[in-house]
């Protein structure tokens, strides 16, 4: 980032720059800046430490759309680290139950905040009224409660819920608050996809765990890269294994990490099929050997164990990828599947999964451009700042006015950036038109309907968005939660 912007974004006057101990640090940043060829990048790697994959995999319990969720301190005994204190939406440990609902059903969630700070619930991916959406300013104070009440009007798919109060989101998610929402509909049911014990929801998250707790104390460097941890947990368990049958499984993955991106693959190099993503089923299955999934994104996969021998093992791994200085340099294992039971499985993946109404650019009546490259730090303030169009989040400012019912093209421009930014819009589902620079193409996960789009360094990505959900004030932001917390969020008003 250029020095000019650097000073401007730090929010400090040049006089302030001359004061105190900040000067040596500032000049070392400038040196760093020059070393990096004009882009300041203090990207710090947090290497993954693989476990021994001896802990039992567990699915979160399932509840209906009429339920109580209580944000609370929770102690887990099953993470693989002995007793660990974190947060949960139930008393039985990290995370929360999976809410399973049919399209058209009403959700009636009585939410209780038993934390000692503000929180709320955002229903990530759902098209619901603004006042139910968990806007960062619509929070519930410690000890309070709120009734989340809305109707599901949504394609079958994997959505999720997590806290979204201003200033506490990154911490609360990292310490354990998140849960899945599975929406079913008749189109999906008619496909007879693997279900019951052959449907595995996986919340993949990296954590820091020490002295029986999950510390959240991002350094400036963590704020720059996003907070990453060395331990990869699946559904709240470190390095788990699961016994499977010789059959095809539906593996439904949420990357619930604050900042870490995964490049999913199988340890034997076998291909797998992508059948769905953020907004539900794809039109047709996409066979891949690896798949990049950013924080907040979901991937609905079919993994085939049917040709594997009894007692053989297969790991879900993350392969290396190009993603800035702090991501993608290491290959590591996430979870182990052990083939334990011989069965006959006659499921074959349908060649057509869903019908998707394809939006085209000609339907769009407005283009908006979002510069997301200029997002580095202001070390003098002791805090990193991230921006969209050189602005950091201001609850009192509406950034974009959108006409209800209109279709717009939004461009996220990370051409000059050095960090990956998974961008997310509340209250809508969109389609991705194209990507130029960087990977220069769309991945299997980027067809169909989305509420997230990953912009790697050097990339410019265009999405087409129908604002046909609800009127009101919504946020859009980077789903790297430390970027979001340090300003990389804006508001749009639909009216």
Interface with ligand C2O includes 386 (CB under 6 A)?
Answer: no
Cα 234 from Cα 243, distance rounded (Å):
15
The single residue among 90, 164, 450, 462 that binds ligand C2O, judged by CB under 6 A, is 164
The single residue among 124, 162, 198, 319 that binds Cu ion, judged by CB under 5 A, is 124
Interface with ligand C2O includes 426 (CB under 6 A)?
Answer: yes
| Nearer CB in complex with Cu ion: 304/482 | 482
User: From residue 283 to residue 322, what is the string marking binding to ligand C2O with x (rule CB under 6 A)?
Assistant: -------------x--------------------------
Interface with Cu ion includes 479 (CB under 5 A)?
Answer: no
Interface with Cu ion includes 421 (CB under 5 A)?
Answer: yes
Interface with Cu ion includes 483 (CB under 5 A)?
Answer: yes
Whether residue 248 contacts residue 302, with contact meaning beta carbons closer than 8 Å, is answered with: yes
* Least distance from Cu ion to the Cβ atom of residue 483, Å: 3
* Least distance from Cu ion to the Cβ atom of residue 175, Å: 19
> Site residues for ligand C2O, window 97-126 (CB under 6 A)?
122, 124
Backbone angles phi, psi at 200, to 5 degrees: -120, 110
> Site residues for Cu ion, window 298-327 (CB under 5 A)?
none
| Nearer CB in complex with ligand C2O: 250/479 | 479
> Site residues for Cu ion, window 94-113 (CB under 5 A)?
none
Cα 266 from Cα 256, distance rounded (Å):
20
Pairing of strands 157-162, 489-494: unpaired
Interface with Cu ion includes 480 (CB under 5 A)?
Answer: yes
User: From residue 422 to residue 451, what is the string marking binding to Cu ion with x (rule CB under 5 A)?
Assistant: ----x-------------------------
Cα 306 from Cα 311, distance rounded (Å):
13
> What are 241's strand-pairing partners?
56, 336
Task: Give 281's contacts (C-beta < 8 A, 6+ positions apart).
Answer: 155, 156, 157, 187, 188, 191, 275, 300, 353, 354, 448
Size of the site for ligand C2O (CB under 6 A): 10
Whether residue 222 contacts residue 138, with contact meaning beta carbons closer than 8 Å, is answered with: no
Cα 228 from Cα 236, distance rounded (Å):
15
Cα 10 from Cα 26, distance rounded (Å):
11
* Least distance from ligand C2O to the Cβ atom of residue 37, Å: 33
What is the enclosing helix (H) or strand (E) of 210?
A: none
* Least distance from ligand C2O to the Cβ atom of residue 228, Å: 18
- In angstroms, the Cα distances linking 140 to 67, 74, 93, 472 are 18, 19, 22, 19
The single residue among 302, 452, 478, 494 that binds Cu ion, judged by CB under 5 A, is 478
Interface with ligand C2O includes 435 (CB under 6 A)?
Answer: no
Q: 3-state DSSP call for residue 120? A: coil
Strands (DSSP E) contained in 77-127 are 84-88, 98-102, 106-113, 122-124
Cα 454 from Cα 124, distance rounded (Å):
16
- Which among 216-224, 258-266, 384-392, 474-482 is the span making contact with ligand C2O, rule CB under 6 A? 474-482
* Least distance from ligand C2O to the Cβ atom of residue 122, Å: 5
- Which among 135-143, 275-283, 298-306, 473-481 is the span making contact with Cu ion, rule CB under 5 A? 473-481
Please give the residue ranges that form the binding site for ligand C2O (CB under 6 A): 122, 124, 162, 164, 296, 424, 426, 475, 477, 479
Q: Which residues bind Cu ion (CB under 5 A)?
A: 124, 421, 426, 478, 480, 483
């Amino acid at each position: 980032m250029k020095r000019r912007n650097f000073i401007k974004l730090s929010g400090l006057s040049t006089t302030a720059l001359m004061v105190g101990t900040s000067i040596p640090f500032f000049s070392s940043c400038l040196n760093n800046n020059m070393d990096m060829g004009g882009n300041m990048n203090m990207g710090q790697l947090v290497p993954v430490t693989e476990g021994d994959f001896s802990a039992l995999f567990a699915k979160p319990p399932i509840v209906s759309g009429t339920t109580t969720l209580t944000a609370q301190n929770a102690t887990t005994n099953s993470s693989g680290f002995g007793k660990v204190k974190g947060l949960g939406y139930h008393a039985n440990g990290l995370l929360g139950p999976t809410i399973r609902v049919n399209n058209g059903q009403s959700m009636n969630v009585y939410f209780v905040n038993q934390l000692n700070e503000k929180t709320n619930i955002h229903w990530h991916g759902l098209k619901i009224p603004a006042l139910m959406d968990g806007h960062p300013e619509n929070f519930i104070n410690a000890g309070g409660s709120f009734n989340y009440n809305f109707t599901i009007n949504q394609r079958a798919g994997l959505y999720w819920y997590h806290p979204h109060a201003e200033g506490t989101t990154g911490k609360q998610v990292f310490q354990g608050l998140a849960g899945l929402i599975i929406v079913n509909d008749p189109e999906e049911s008619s496909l007879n996809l693997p279900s019951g014990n052959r449907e595995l929801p996986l919340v993949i998250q990296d954590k820091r765990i020490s002295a029986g707790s999950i510390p959240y104390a991002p350094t400036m460097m963590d704020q720059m890269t996003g907070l990453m941890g060395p331990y990869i947990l699946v559904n709240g368990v470190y390095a788990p294994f699961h016994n499977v049958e010789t059959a095809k499984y539906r593996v439904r993955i949420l990357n619930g990490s604050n900042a870490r991106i995964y490049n999913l693959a199988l340890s034997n190099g076998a291909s797998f099929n992508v059948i769905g993503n953020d907004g539900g089923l794809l039109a047709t299955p996409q066979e891949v050997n690896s798949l990049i999934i950013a924080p907040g994104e979901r991937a609905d996969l079919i993994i085939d164990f049917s040709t594997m021998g009894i007692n053989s093992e297969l790991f879900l791994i993350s392969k290396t990828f190009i993603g800035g200085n702090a991501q993608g340099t290491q290959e590591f294992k996430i979870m182990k599947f052990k083939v334990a039971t011989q069965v006959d499985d006659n499921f074959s993946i349908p060649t057509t999964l869903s019908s998707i109404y394809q939006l085209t650019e000609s339907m769009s009546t407005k283009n908006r451009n979002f510069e997301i490259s200029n997002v580095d730090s202001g070390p003098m303030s002791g805090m990193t700042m991230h921006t969209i169009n050189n602005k950091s989040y201001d609850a009192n400012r509406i950034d974009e006015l959108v006409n209800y019912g209109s279709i717009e093209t939004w461009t996220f421009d990370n051409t000059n950036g050095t960090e990956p930014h998974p961008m997310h819009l509340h209250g809508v589902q969109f389609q991705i038109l194209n990507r130029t620079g960087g990977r220069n193409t769309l991945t299997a996960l980027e067809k169909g309907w989305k509420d997230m789009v990953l912009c790697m360094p050097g990339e410019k990505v265009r999405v087409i968005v129908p604002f046909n959900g609800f009127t009101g004030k919504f946020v859009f932001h980077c789903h790297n939660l430390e970027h979001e917390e340090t300003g990389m969020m804006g508001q749009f008003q639909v009216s």
